Amino acid sequence: MHSDTLAYNAALSADDRAIADLLAQTIDKHLCGAENKVWHAHPVWFLDGNPIVGYSKLKNCVRLLFWSGQSFDEDELKPEGTFKAAEARYTDADQVDVKALKRWLTKAREIQWDYKNIVRRKGKLERLK
């Protein structure tokens, strides 16, 4: 895990840090080969330069975001934004369903939209794999 991700988590309150640490450890373990860095001020994991999953501290929660999550067919993930992203929000580490998170991470590797080239394609997303 990147040192910037560790620093991001360390700066959070104890409750939020517990959530972020659980997310980071689970993502890092189950998304082998992914590059982790702080991107646009939040920890994000990439596969071949394509953003896959990340999390961020919002006002009242920690948000877990899957860039291609709307294609996972998972009721627990809610649509976010105008593209294919979906999110889950947590206010306590006990709310994180690690089994579901692992399932989502498997889907995240298999189901990807090409965010890496979205600017070059003038906002048009194409499915990878």
Q: Tens digits of per-residue pLDDT, 17-66?
A: 999 999 999 999 999 899 999 999 999 999 988 899 999 999 999 999 99
The tens digit of pLDDT for each residue in 80-129 reads 987 899 999 999 999 999 999 999 999 999 988 676 776 676 666 677 76
pLDDT score, position 119: 64
Q: State the Cα–Cα distance between residues 84 and 66, nearest whole angstrom.
A: 9
CATH of domain 3-128: 3.90.1150.200
Residues 24 and 6: their CA atoms lie apart, in Å, by 9
Question: What is the rounded CA–CA span in Å between residue 73 and residue 103?
Answer: 11
